[in-house]
Amino acid sequence: MKKRRFVAYIAIICVLCTFLSLFSVSASAASVLKPSASGISASFPTSVKNNASLTVSVTLSASCVADSITVQVGKVQKTVSGKAIAVLTKPIRQNAKIVFSGWTFEPSTYSVTVLVKNSVGSVSKKVGNIKVISGFSNPLKAISGGKTNIITQSFSANAYDSKRDHLGTDYSGAASYVTAIINGTVIDIYTGNGYGYGNAVIIRSTIYGKTVYIIYGHMKDNSLKIKKGDCVVSGQVLGTMWSSGNSTGKHVHVGVFTGAYKTGGKTVPAGYYSKTFSNSAYKVSYGTFTYFDPQRLITSAGTILKG
Ligand SMILES: [Zn+2]
116-169, pLDDT tens digit by residue? 988 889 999 999 999 988 788 889 988 766 778 899 999 988 777 777 889 999
What was the pLDDT predicted at 269? 93
Which of 73, 102, 133 lies at the terminal end of a domain, its last residue? Answer: 133
For residue 250, tell me if it sits in a domain: yes
* Mean predicted confidence (pLDDT) in 191-199: 95
For residue 296, tell me if it sits in a domain: yes
Tell me, yes or no, whether 68 and 192 share the same domain.
Answer: no
Q: Are 197 and 245 in contact (CB under 8 A)?
A: yes
- Centre of ligand 1 to C-alpha 216, Å, is 9
* Mean predicted confidence (pLDDT) in 27-53: 81
| Alpha-carbon gap, residue 81 to 96, rounded angstroms | 9
- Centre of ligand 1 to C-alpha 106, Å, is 28
Tell me, yes or no, whether 191 and 281 share the same domain.
Answer: yes
Tell me, yes or no, whether 187 and 111 share the same domain.
Answer: no
Conformational region of residue 222, where left means phi above 0, alpha means psi within -120 to 50, and beta covers everything else: left
- Centre of ligand 1 to C-alpha 168, Å, is 6
For residue 30, tell me if it sits in a domain: no
- Centre of ligand 1 to C-alpha 221, Å, is 18
- Centre of ligand 1 to C-alpha 253, Å, is 4
Predicted confidence (pLDDT) at residue 109 exceeds the cutoff of 80: yes
Which has more confidence, 267 or 1? 267
Tell me, yes or no, whether 180 and 297 share the same domain.
Answer: yes
Tell me, yes or no, whether 269 and 233 share the same domain.
Answer: yes
Band the pLDDT of 272: cuts 50, 70, 90: confident
Predicted confidence (pLDDT) at residue 110 exceeds the cutoff of 80: yes
What CATH number is attached to the domain comprising 196? Answer: 2.70.70.10
**pTM (predicted TM-score):** 0.66
Tell me, yes or no, whether 280 and 187 share the same domain.
Answer: yes
- Centre of ligand 1 to C-alpha 150, Å, is 13
Tell me, yes or no, whether 275 and 181 share the same domain.
Answer: yes
- Centre of ligand 1 to C-alpha 167, Å, is 7
Tell me, yes or no, whether 72 and 145 share the same domain.
Answer: no
Which of 95, 110, 133 lies at the terminal end of a domain, its last residue? Answer: 133
Q: What is the count of structural domains for the chain?
A: 2
For residue 86, tell me if it sits in a domain: yes
- Centre of ligand 1 to C-alpha 233, Å, is 23
- Centre of ligand 1 to C-alpha 208, Å, is 25
Which has more confidence, 111 or 277? 111
Predicted confidence (pLDDT) at residue 12 exceeds the cutoff of 60: no
- Averaged pLDDT score across all residues of the chain: 84
Tell me, yes or no, whether 116 and 188 share the same domain.
Answer: no
- Centre of ligand 1 to C-alpha 254, Å, is 7
For residue 29, tell me if it sits in a domain: no
- Centre of ligand 1 to C-alpha 135, Å, is 23
What CATH number is attached to the domain comprising 53? Answer: 2.60.40.10
Tell me, yes or no, whether 264 and 279 share the same domain.
Answer: yes
- Centre of ligand 1 to C-alpha 251, Å, is 8
Which of 133, 168, 203 lies at the terminal end of a domain, its last residue? Answer: 133
What was the pLDDT predicted at 21? 47
- Centre of ligand 1 to C-alpha 241, Å, is 13
What was the pLDDT predicted at 26? 41
**Quick one: 273 exposed, middle or buried, by C-beta within 10 A (0-12, 13-18, 19+)?**
buried
Tell me, yes or no, whether 184 and 227 share the same domain.
Answer: yes
* Mean predicted confidence (pLDDT) in 75-101: 67
| Alpha-carbon gap, residue 278 to 123, rounded angstroms | 54
CA nearest to 207, candidates 153, 272, 281, 135: 135
For residue 272, tell me if it sits in a domain: yes
* Mean predicted confidence (pLDDT) in 81-91: 50
- Centre of ligand 1 to C-alpha 149, Å, is 13
| Alpha-carbon gap, residue 224 to 247, rounded angstroms | 18
For residue 11, tell me if it sits in a domain: no
Per DSSP bridges, beta strands 47-49 and 122-133 are: parallel
Predicted confidence (pLDDT) at residue 73 exceeds the cutoff of 60: yes
Tell me, yes or no, whether 53 and 80 share the same domain.
Answer: yes
For residue 59, tell me if it sits in a domain: yes
| Alpha-carbon gap, residue 71 to 69, rounded angstroms | 7
- Centre of ligand 1 to C-alpha 146, Å, is 21
Domain that holds residue 59: 37-133
* Mean predicted confidence (pLDDT) in 41-59: 88
